[in-house]
Amino acid sequence: MSTTTSMEDSAPLHSWAPLRRTWLSRGFALVYLCAVVALLHHHVLNLLQSTTIITLALFLADFVLAFMWIAYQGFRMRPIRRKVFLQNPAKVATKSNYPKLDVFICTADPDKEPPMSVVNTALSVMAYDYPTEKLSVYVSDDGGSQLTLFAFVEAAKFAAHWLPYCSKNKIVERSPEAHFGSTHLVWFPETDQIKNMYEHMKMKVESVVERGSIPCDYITNEQNQPQSFSKCFSKWTANGFARQDHPTIIQVILESDKDKDITGHPMPNLIYVSREKNRAIPHNFKAGALNALLRVSAVMTNAPIILTLDCDMRSNDPQTPLRAMCYHLDPQMASRLAYVQFPQNFHNINRDDIYGAEFKYPFHIDPFGMDGLGGPDYEGTGCFFRRRAFFGGPSSFVPPGNLELSPDRLVNGPIQSKEVLSLAHHVAGCTFEAQTIWGSKVGFRYGSLVEDLYTGYRLHCEGWRSIFCHPNRPAFLGDAPTTLNDMLNQTKRWTMGLLQVGLSKHSPIILGFKSLNPFHALCYTNYVYWPIWAIPITIYAFLPQLALLNSFSIFPKVSDVPWFFTYAFLFLGAYTQDFLEFSLAGGTFRRWWNNQRMWMVRALSSFTFGLGEYILQSFSFAKSGFNVTNKVVDDELGRRYDKGIFEFGVASSLFLPLTTAALINLLSFVRGIIHIFVYGGFEDLALWFGVVNCWPAYEAAFFRSDDGKMPMKITVISVVLASVLYLASSLAF
């Protein structure tokens, strides 16, 4: 079955079809469910017979696994795949009728997010195949850095050459760094000249960034530089300017009505915004930054469609806005469509993806499942929103309290008039939101470090739907973390954000089941309770091993036919299905293996530490912050990553659960082998699984000498922890 849900059959904009495997997965779910129920029943009987720490722990572990498995079935109930017809938007609307598009790019730290990379992201979208006079790019700089502004001023000059070069030669990679760095670069007559210009600009910006300040003559003596620029830079020299404490800075760098490229075509608007900050006033991290942009852009251009981008997510396909318009232009969808989400893709992942950085499930597999139920979650970047969606449900408009910020207000005047600029400064102020509904009922929602998932979820609860758009050529490419520590820290932040949603009154098990399709609510339930994976994985990483070290075996014997096979079926069934889904989505065996390993490592450390920090924070012992992911890679480290070698290197406590589990697993495995030789029976061989998964930890602790090896401190502490655990267990067993 394939359905076009669009207007005229002659020029459909998009179509969809269910995934073929749906009936198979539903059938399998039924069989698997029987096994799950049988196992839980078996546990309960065991518990009634004898309640020990071990039987309780095993019950708890399997109970959580069963809960998460049931929640995951939401994704498998009705996955659908969509297609757009790119040739057709032109048939239903003339280019002059395309909606205006405001692009929001967020950056927060010039040290971790190099200005040159932010600039590349901006250039790549400024060069979109979309009417430039309808395009505005807003950069939010939470780092409050003049270096970033400087980079943008330079980039704007280069853009006047870059944009016509791209459209004339039909360049596909419109981030200059990606284009000139490409191994299959095609040379056009002007390529040399443009490349030189780019290199020159890059050198200039990077030298300023390295220096940490802008030489005076760069600001005052530059040709064609409007005076307003030097006035703007002078804000940084004012007394007391700090990243967390400074006035609003808004600088229009390019104005479409006035600025032309070298062929005389209008340029898109380019606006730099660093909202006001004050240490005493919470700024709500990225959600706060996006809301400031939502208001500043409402005052200046108020485009009905908004694209949100992280600063590292450069465009990889200039036709992306047109794809999004295939949905946004469909009048049948218009009344309920909140956003069109493109998957996150990364350009810097190594061959076997050792850190599971691709996040294949949440970014590439699960969204198909949610799309058939009400729409994918919002992934924080690569998402085309309808502005109206931020102001109440589809049929219950919630006004923003200020007429000038209304999503349906037409804005066509000059964006640099005095009134516009002063209002823009006002709405970017840090006290503007006090006692308003911003962040609770309108705009991006506050209260969670995963503002993306939370905002998308709340929009769904209000009755909006969303669409998953997944072209073959990735629409955006970003930087994935390339060290284990960065990766674990990122997931730790997500853990806290998810718990903030899962344990609030808006939790999917309360609000979700009330407002959404129950399977859709299940999907969200699965996401927000990710952190509780820590429970079964920690139990299974330590308990059977410690039991064996104390001459106990807690797995059923092969002779115990029904239970042995139930266990085996549940484990192998889940793993096989997981592998099939992963490879159907284009994954290799090694990537799958690494993904399941990282899943356990994350559960042991990020989820556990995130859970701990969440608890401390709820008792006000700690404050949660948005620890921005590092996007700079040092050469040596990058080489190790490319070779697929795990990076430990720093003495991070996040490694401890992994190294301790690795030691316990190794000991019990050795013990198990001896046991087999002496007494026979091979059930304990199941422990090979833990040992193989821990291999990178053994290597890093005992066999490596490079800078990425396990720091001695971590190894020593884990030996101590493992010994304490062993001693404690021998008392308990």
Ligand X SMILES: O=c1ccn([C@@H]2O[C@H](COP(=O)(O)OP(=O)(O)O[C@H]3O[C@H](CO)[C@@H](O)[C@H](O)[C@H]3O)[C@@H](O)[C@H]2O)c(=O)[nH]1
Name the minimum Å distance from CB 311 to Mn ion.
8
449 binds ligand X (CB under 6 A): yes
Give the whole-angstrom CA distance, residue 589 versus residue 593. Answer: 6
The 3-class SS string of 490-521 reads: HHHHHHHHHHHHHCCCCCHHHHHHHHCCHHHH
Name the minimum Å distance from CB 345 to ligand X.
11
Does residue 312 have an active-site annotation? Answer: no
The three-state secondary structure class of 359 is coil
Name the minimum Å distance from CB 474 to ligand X.
14
Give the whole-angstrom CA distance, residue 520 versus residue 372. Answer: 9
**Residue found by looking up tokens 């780019």 in the block:** 198
Active-site annotation holder among 102, 317, 377, 452: 452
Region binding ligand X by CB under 6 A among candidate stretches 541-549, 608-616, 622-630, 672-680: 622-630
108 binds ligand X (CB under 6 A): yes
**Residue found by looking up tokens 């009634």 in the block:** 48
Name the minimum Å distance from CB 313 to ligand X.
8
477 binds ligand X (CB under 6 A): no
Q: Are 59 and 352 in contact, with CB atoms under 8 Å apart? A: no
Give the whole-angstrom CA distance, residue 660 versus residue 206. Answer: 42
Name the minimum Å distance from CB 344 to ligand X.
6
- CB neighbourhood size of 17 (10 A): 12
Between 289 and 322, name the residue whose CB sits nearer to ligand X: 289
Between 13 and 311, name the residue whose CB sits nearer to ligand X: 311
DSSP state of 84: E
Between 108 and 701, name the residue whose CB sits nearer to Mn ion: 108
In terms of Cβ atoms closer than 10 Å to its own Cβ (0-12, 13-18, 19+), residue 38 is middle
The three-state secondary structure class of 32 is helix
Does residue 142 have an active-site annotation? Answer: yes
106 binds ligand X (CB under 6 A): yes
Q: Are 669 and 690 in contact, with CB atoms under 8 Å apart? A: yes
Q: Are 307 and 383 in contact, with CB atoms under 8 Å apart? A: yes
107 binds ligand X (CB under 6 A): yes
Name the minimum Å distance from CB 553 to ligand X.
41
Per-residue x/- mask for ligand X, residues 377 to 406, rule CB under 6 A?
---xx-------------------------
When binding is defined by CB under 6 A, the residue of 530, 567, 582, 626 that contacts ligand X is: 626
Name the token pair of 564. 């042995």
376 binds ligand X (CB under 6 A): no
Name the minimum Å distance from CB 149 to ligand X.
15
State how far the alpha carbon of 190 is from the alpha carbons of 131, 169, 172, 662, 693, in Å. 23, 10, 16, 57, 52
Q: Are 662 and 694 in contact, with CB atoms under 8 Å apart? A: yes
Between 343 and 380, name the residue whose CB sits nearer to ligand X: 380
289 binds ligand X (CB under 6 A): yes
Name the token pair of 116. 């040159």
Active-site annotation holder among 142, 310, 317, 366: 142
The three-state secondary structure class of 307 is strand
Q: Are 402 and 423 in contact, with CB atoms under 8 Å apart? A: no
Among Mn ion, ligand X, none, partner that 626 touches (CB below 5 to 8 angstroms by kind): ligand X
Of 603-662, binders to Mn ion (CB under 5 A) are 629
Per-residue x/- mask for ligand X, residues 336 to 375, rule CB under 6 A?
----------------------------------------
Region binding ligand X by CB under 6 A among candidate stretches 22-30, 148-156, 214-222, 284-292: 284-292
Exposure pattern of 393-415 as b/e (b: 16+ CB <10 Å)?
Answer: bbeeeeebeeebbbbeeeeeeeb
When binding is defined by CB under 6 A, the residue of 490, 595, 624, 693 that contacts ligand X is: 490
Between 194 and 487, name the residue whose CB sits nearer to ligand X: 487
Active site positions, annotated: 142, 452
Residues in contact with ligand X by CB under 6 A are 106-108, 113, 140, 142, 285-286, 289, 310-311, 380-381, 449-452, 490, 493-494, 497, 626, 628-629
Residues in contact with Mn ion by CB under 5 A are 629
